[in-house]
Every structure is written in C-alpha cells, then in structure tokens.
Chain A
C-alpha cells in the first residue's frame, strides 16, 4: 500500500476532473461555449503524452550509455503508452474541432504536428518489429527514438511559433491563459494535468511489467 499511494491519487484526480469538469461553472466564451470543458481532457492528454515520451527518450539515452535491456523495455513501453495518450488526444481534439471550427480536421500546423507525432512513433514500432536480435533492436531503435524526438520538438515547439494557427495560443488566437483567468477552471485544470500524467505513468508501469513477464516466460519455455 505504501508504494501505491500515487495510484490512488491518480484515480482520485481523474475522477475529480470528470465530475468537476462536467458540473462546475465555466466562463461563457463565444464560439467555444460549453466545449471549453474539453480543455480538462484534451490538453492534459497531450501533456501526459509529452511527459511519457520524454521518459521514453530518457531511457533510450540511458540504454545507449549502459546497454541494459531493462532501459529498452521501459523506452518501448513508454512509447506505447505515449501513443495511446496521443491517440486519445487526437480524438478529443478532433471532436473539439468539429464543434468549434466546423470540421473534424483542419489544415493547421498544430494538428499536423499531432499527426506527425503519431507517424513518427508508428515508424518507431515498425523499426522495432523489423529487427530480430534483442540487443541490436534495442540499440538501433534507441538511436531512432532520440533522433525522432528531437525532430518532433522542432516541429511542435519551433514551427508553430512561426506560423498562424487556428489553435489557441497561436496567430493572435487567445491562449490558455486568457480563459484561465477564471479561477474555477484553474481548480479543475491543474489537477487534471497531474491526474492524467500520473494515470499515464501507472499504465506505463503495468505495460512494463507485462513486457518483462512475457520475456521471462520466453526464456523459461
């Protein structure tokens, strides 16, 4: 129980976000109206994804330094979990886009960035799938993971600053801070971010354990 306190916090925080997110008052904004509640789900999912992909990057670097297969397992399973959060983020974003911009998908730098993120990590999984030998797979996919993450940062952090975008926070659109002047939203949003990140980490630890067990049974067979 002592080790699991953060899992309880994660569950409580996410539950709190769902209940409070749908029940508490939100500021009335033009165009957004009630869809502003999606802020509690869409944005924390992306934050969670970036955090977990960073864990993946960190363990890829660690693998290259110490050649410990444990780091490779963590890196790959973190990428899987990050992908799951990314897909959830893209679905919630698409829903939000439908009700504010009128289409499921609009040509926009931020949305393209999201799609590219998914493509990069799908390519990473295909690369892993096409290498047989364990150590070689770990080493080469670690190199690709580091390479890809840096290019992703360029895409997600630098290019949107140069382009106009419909997405909040770009091209003269009001950013998150302007809606956030309302302190009730802040009361839900910050716990939501923490909750989704913790939930992502929890999922990741479960996936890591499953993967380790799988490899163990493979060796024993």
Chain B
C-alpha cells in the first residue's frame, strides 16, 4: 500500500518537525492554560452545567483553530513544492488530518484537565465525555485542516480561517454541546443517535477532504 506508507512517513515528518521547534506546541498549550486561568479568575467556580459546557467548548474551539491554523498556513512554498513531488494529495491531507487529530487530542486532554482543576469538575459521566471529546477532536481536526488548506491560498489567511470555519463547524459543535451536556448531567442512557450523527459527520468531512483536496493543493 503506497498510500499507507506515504501517510506513515508524512506523519513521522510532522512529528519530527514539531519536535524541532517545540515552542510552537508549547505556545498552544500555554494558550489553553492561560485562557482557562483567565476564565477561572473571572468565574471562580462554575456550577451551572450549561455555562460550564459552553465555556469549555469555546476555549477548546479557539485553541483548536490556533493549533490547526499553522498546518498549511505556516508551510513555506518551497517545502510544499518538495512535498508535491514526493507524495499524493490524498496522503498529504490524510496525514495532516491524523497528525492534527493527535495534536488536538493532546490539547483537549490538557484543556479538560486544567479546566476541571481550576473551574471545577462537574462531569458525572466521564466515559461519555471522553468519547465526545475524542470524536470532537477528530471532527475539529479534519474540518479545520481542510479550511486551513483553503485559507492558506488567500492573503489575509488567519482572519479568513475563522470566518470560513465557524459557520461550517456549527453542526458539529451543536452535536458536541448536546452530547457533552448529557455527559455532565450524567443521564443513564447514552444517546446513541447523537453519537452516530457525530461519527457520520466525521466520516463525511474526511471523505470530502479526501476527494476535494487534490483541487486545492497545486497553484
């Protein structure tokens, strides 16, 4: 499987690049911690589930946008050109999506830990919350990677990244908010229809990225 090997190689390349300039990753993690700390200073403890939930996802949303935005925007032209000669477009986008998923898993794990530590842990059904967070990270990563590829083609790309991603993230975000609210309330039954829709959205986004990316990457 050529594609599989290429993906494996490209993910390795992403991780090695990340390790070479650790300050970028450190910057994002610090961003999460300081945002949570600011909300802790302004809210102290939050006991209202709706507020807790909303604030958590807003922090995570902005951290994710910042974390993923650099995946295409910060690539230099020369490096991209070199990449095009080596790998297929599908391998490039899939490896970026997988790598960004790993990155977002780290970010969301840290975010949950720090948030629960400072603002208070009111989650009653932790497994459901973790599953939601996992699927949410995948969804965020695939959507934002694709949008970052689109935004990187324009001149004012950071502004555009936010403008383009917010409206198309809404369906994903609404399902995530609903599921994590259920997890916080600790409802006895897992709402499988929402979980299925969340997986379905993930699959759709990845399929679309797989199909559409080859029209994006070359100038």
- Bitwise, A123-160 to B at CB < 8 A (1) or not (0) is 10011001100001001101110111011101100110
- Chain A residues with CB under 8 Å of B167's CB are 116, 119-120, 123, 148
Tell me how many residues of A have a C-beta within 8 Å of chain B.
Answer: 28
What is the bound-complex CA distance between A139 and B155, given in angstroms?
A: 16
Q: Is the beta-carbon distance between B154 and A130 smaller than 8 angstroms? A: yes
Q: Is the beta-carbon distance between A127 and B201 smaller than 8 angstroms? A: no
- Bitwise, A95-133 to B at CB < 8 A (1) or not (0) is 000000000000001001000100110010011001100
Tell me how many residues of B have a C-beta within 8 Å of chain A.
Answer: 28
Main secondary structure of the interface of B (DSSP, over half): helix
Q: Does B41 contact A (CB under 8 A)?
A: no
Q: Does A32 contact B (CB under 8 A)?
A: no
Looking at B204, B215, B219, the one whose CB has the most chain A CB atoms below 10 A away is: B215
Whole-angstrom distance from the CB of B69 to the nearest CB of chain A? 16
**Which candidate, B83-91, B111-119, B156-164, is the interface stretch facing chain A?**
B156-164
- Chain A residues with CB under 8 Å of B201's CB are 154
Partner of B216, one of A116, A119, A143: A143
Give chain B interface residues in 138-156, CB to chain A under 8 Å: 146, 150, 153-156
- Chain A residues with CB under 8 Å of B153's CB are 131, 136, 140
What is the bound-complex CA distance between A159 and B178, given in angstroms?
A: 11
Instruction: Name the residue on A nearest B209 (C-beta).
Output: A147
Q: Does B170 contact A (CB under 8 A)?
A: yes
- Chain A residues with CB under 8 Å of B208's CB are 146-147, 150
Q: Does B168 contact A (CB under 8 A)?
A: yes
What is the bound-complex CA distance between A159 and B174, given in angstroms?
A: 9
Q: Does B171 contact A (CB under 8 A)?
A: yes
Q: Does A23 contact B (CB under 8 A)?
A: no
What is the bound-complex CA distance between A162 and B208, given in angstroms?
A: 24
Q: Is the beta-carbon distance between B171 and A155 smaller than 8 angstroms? A: yes
Q: Does A64 contact B (CB under 8 A)?
A: yes
- Chain B residues with CB under 8 Å of A126's CB are 160, 163
Partner of A139, one of B174, B205, B215: B215
Q: Does B110 contact A (CB under 8 A)?
A: no
A–B complex contacts, Cβ < 8 Å, 19 sampled: A64-B215, A112-B174, A123-B163, A126-B160, A127-B150, A127-B160, A130-B154, A130-B155, A131-B154, A139-B216, A140-B153, A143-B216, A147-B168, A147-B208, A150-B204, A150-B208, A151-B168, A155-B171, A158-B171
| 8 closest cross-chain pairs (CB), A and B | A119-B167, A155-B171, A120-B167, A151-B168, A130-B154, A154-B171, A143-B212, A116-B170
